[in-house]
Homo-oligomer: A and B are copies of this chain.
């Protein structure tokens, strides 16, 4: 296909999705494997072409379902790319989303013949096609920031959870250990959590169960 200045090639609008999750206590990303050229056998982000007449939301949900089998995830828009040379097949305009989801909510639905759960730390970016490496890294950076300043972690936790559960999420995603006392003080001071006055008895000593106060994304108050 020619892509000269005065040709009539119409840009193809698409969505690509960076889906993060925690699986077996590892921070992971969901990728698909291309079966055709270009980038045959490379990992790429799940994605697809937008259908006119539907909103971005509707297109997102449809593409997510088609490419992964997953019905719903929490998501945020990341960036939009448009570059005549980005995709070698056509002139693509690509809207990138990143998403965070607990594996319990998608393992029933996911089609593992289509999508692979890849441990983030052992992902070799040499195996990733297109320009998806920089997209994935940018999404991770945004996620780290959101973890620190918002209640985004609610999307990867069950409705009721202990402070230890929560701390573990932070440690796995940020890739570092965190002091337990300081973590508790900081999280409780932000007032994003509510004590449910119930207990989790699955560990040895029972632990308090908390829930998030806000249903939607909330930037933490810096007191």
Which chain B residue shows the least CB distance to A54? B84
Chain B residues, CB < 8 A from A4: 53
Query: Are the C-beta atoms of B52 and A11 separated by less than 8 Å?
Result: yes
A124 on the B face (CB < 8 A): no
- A61-93 with Cβ < 8 A to chain B: 77, 79-84, 91, 93
Where chain A touches its partner, the secondary structure class is loop
Q: Are B55 and A82 in contact, with the CB atoms below 8 A? A: yes
Contact B83 A95 (CB under 8 A): no
A7 to B56, CA, bound (A): 17
Q: Any chain B CB within 8 A of the CB of A118?
A: no
Is A184 in contact with chain B by the CB < 8 A criterion? no
Bound: A144/B80 CA distance, A: 22
Nearest CB of chain B from residue A21's CB, rounded to whole Å? 25
Asked if A9 is at the interface (CB within 8 A of a chain B CB), the reply is yes
Across the interface, which residues of B come within 8 angstroms of A83, CB to CB?
55-56
**What interface size band does chain A fall in?**
20 to 34
A10 within 8 A of B: yes
Give the chain B neighbours of A77 by CB distance below 8 A: 79-80
Please give, as numbers and ranges, the residues of chain B lying within 8 Å of A82 by CB-CB distance.
13, 50, 55-56, 59, 95
Q: How far is the CA of A117 from the CA of B132 in the complex (A)?
A: 40
Bound: A149/B6 CA distance, A = 42
Q: Which of B8, B53, B93 contacts A9 (CB 8 A)?
A: B53
- Give complex CA distance A93, B49 in Å: 13
The chain B residue with its CB closest to the CB of A6 is B53
Knowing A52-B3, A77-B79, the reply to whether A93 touches B93 (Cβ < 8 A) is yes
Smallest Cβ distance from A98 to chain B, in angstroms? 14
A5 in the interface (beta carbon within 8 A): yes
Q: Which residue of B lies closest to A79 (CB)?
A: B77
| Shortest distance between the CB of A78 and any CB in chain B (Å) | 10
The answer to whether A53 touches B3 (Cβ under 8 A) is yes
Q: Mark A6-33, 1 if CB is under 8 A from B, else 0.
A: 1111110100000000000000000000
Query: How far, in angstroms, from A54 to B4 measured CA to CA in the complex?
Result: 9
Residues from chain B with Cβ under 8 Å of A59 in the complex: 82
